[in-house]
Amino acid sequence: MTSRPSKNIWIQRQQCPCGDWKCYVTYEGDAEETSIASQLVKNDTSPSEAMISPYVGMVFKSDDDAFEYYGNFARKNGFSIRKERSRLSPQLGIYKRDFVCYRSGFAPAKKKPTGEHHRDRKSMRCGCDAKMYLSKEIVDGDSQWFVVQFSNVHNHELLEDDQRDVRNFVQNRKKVVQENDALLTEKRESDTMELLEACKVAKYADENFVYDFTVDENDKVENIMWSYSDSVHAYNMFGDVVYFDTSYRSITYGMLFGAWLGIDSNGRTIFFGCALLQDETSRSFSWALQTFVRFMRGNYPQTILTDLDPGLRDAIQTDLPATKDVISVWNILSKLYSWFFQPLGSRFAEFKSEFDTLCRLETTEEFELQWNQMISVFRFNADKHIALLYSFRSSWAPSYTRGYLLA
């Protein structure tokens, strides 16, 4: 069984624009992503090895190294950990880190609208005092992290490493999934608050740094976005065409990463801003679009390049009505194999050739005629992906986007 990684890893979004998770029959990720996935499985299935317990005075090169080490120690000893608190300063950035057992502390009671306390579900936290606290110091010009407090005293049972408990673990997998989801929520909340604190420090150092965020009904950060003064300046010169890349999602938190990019006069990619969004709804995209325009001092792009996403398209039509929405042909072509290879089989190559021809046509009349012929030849009358592509044709087909400012 493969658990979620302790480090945050980003993968390409796998939900189809039609809303189905089953459309991508294969995923041809790059070699690095494949290597990461293989390494995660390898780490989860490796035999238990002797490991030195953390101790006061132990030194790490970075807080990430310390968290990984403590996480490995925890897994080999039958418990999990989470990031509890961090402290920042304008001079040192993050200079203190508290890592604790996942059952540390007590969950706060939630309030009903009447003010009456209640719990939605039993809390996993039981006041466990197991912990590892670190402090950063500068030694000979290099940052080093020292363990300043450590305790491995737990007030709850730890998972035993024998076949009986492995069997019980599998039999109770539903409960474990629910508990891991609760832990993941806690970790996401901790790290997003840490990101928010980092934005505050950046704002303190540069008054022209801009950021904004939204919170839910429980005052938890749900969306956050930021940009730098240099990015705003670059947008004023090269912001006629922007690319809003929303193709990556965190497999650790489930959050969507959106990056605003452009091209300068030398053909180099430039950064305008980025956002972490809680979901892929029109509401979240709308907030991101409005916030971006506000960051860029009310200047709207002439053209926005996006991925094929109905929710994002709806938001653009509402919030950027005068901006041309263009979906790159490459984005469309990259989906064809997953959508059509299985139903077409040996005819897929013929279909791909026909589709390439569509992308070279000059006029919309030629496109419509060729499209209808393709539908008839391959009997696509009831195919949902063909219907989706046709409904978006004005945004991706070159015969429709010809004349748009794209560079």
Cβ neighbors of 123 (< 8 A, separation 6 or more) are 106, 107
* % residues pLDDT > 70 (the chain): 74
Helix ranges (DSSP H) in 81-140:
none
What pLDDT score was predicted for residue 134? 92
- What does the pLDDT average to over 140-163? 78
| More confident site: 218 or 45 | 218
DSSP 299-348: PPPSEEEE-S-HHHHHHHHHH-TTSEEEE-HHHHHHHHHHHHHHHHGGGH
Q: What is the pLDDT of residues 362-383, one digit of tens each?
A: 999 999 999 999 999 998 888 8
CA–CA dist 407, 397 (Å, integer): 17
Domain 188-327 CATH assignment equals 3.30.420: yes
Q: Cα 163 from chain centroid?
A: 36
| Domain extents in the chain | 52-105+123-158, 188-327, 328-406
| More confident site: 80 or 181 | 80
- What does the pLDDT average to over 127-155? 88
CA–CA dist 249, 256 (Å, integer): 4
Is the distance from CB of 276 to CB of 249 less than 8 angstroms? no
CA–CA dist 320, 241 (Å, integer): 13
Average pLDDT across the chain, whole number: 78
Q: What is the pLDDT of residues 302-333, one digit of tens each?
A: 999 998 888 899 999 999 999 999 988 888 88
DSSP state of 108: P
3-state secondary structure of 107: coil
- What does the pLDDT average to over 53-63? 90
CA–CA dist 235, 239 (Å, integer): 4
**pLDDT grade for 52, boundaries at 50, 70 and 90:** confident
Closest CA to 81 of 93, 65, 69, 91: 69
Paired sense of beta strands 10-12 and 241-250, if any: antiparallel
Q: Which amino acid is at 269?
A: T
What pLDDT score was predicted for residue 159? 62
CA distances from 46 to 2, 3, 159 (A): 11, 13, 17
- What does the pLDDT average to over 120-139? 79
Q: What is the pLDDT of residues 157-215, one digit of tens each?
A: 776 544 334 334 333 433 433 444 444 455 556 667 777 888 888 888 888 999 999 98
Is the distance from CB of 218 to CB of 108 less than 8 angstroms? no
| More confident site: 400 or 35 | 400
Residue 244 has pLDDT above 60, yes or no: yes
pTM of the model: 0.57
Residue 141 has pLDDT above 90, yes or no: no
Bridge partners, residue 223, by sequence: 214
Residue 342 has pLDDT above 60, yes or no: yes
What pLDDT score was predicted for residue 361? 92
CA–CA dist 370, 359 (Å, integer): 10
What pLDDT score was predicted for residue 252? 55
| More confident site: 389 or 43 | 389
Is the four-CA dihedral 359, 362, 364, 366 of positive or negative sign?
Answer: negative
Residue 130 has pLDDT above 60, yes or no: yes
3-state secondary structure of 162: coil
What pLDDT score was predicted for residue 155? 84
What pLDDT score was predicted for residue 178? 42
Residue 390 has pLDDT above 90, yes or no: yes
Q: What is the pLDDT of residues 268-300, one digit of tens each?
A: 889 999 998 988 889 999 999 999 999 999 999
Cβ neighbors of 61 (< 8 A, separation 6 or more) are 143, 144, 145
Q: What is the pLDDT of residues 8-42, one digit of tens each?
A: 555 555 566 766 655 554 333 333 333 333 333 33
**pLDDT grade for 265, boundaries at 50, 70 and 90:** confident
Closest CA to 208 of 238, 186, 235: 235
CA distances from 184 to 82, 86, 168, 213, 272 (A): 9, 18, 22, 20, 30
CA–CA dist 228, 289 (Å, integer): 17
CB-CB neighbours of 337 under 10 Å: 15
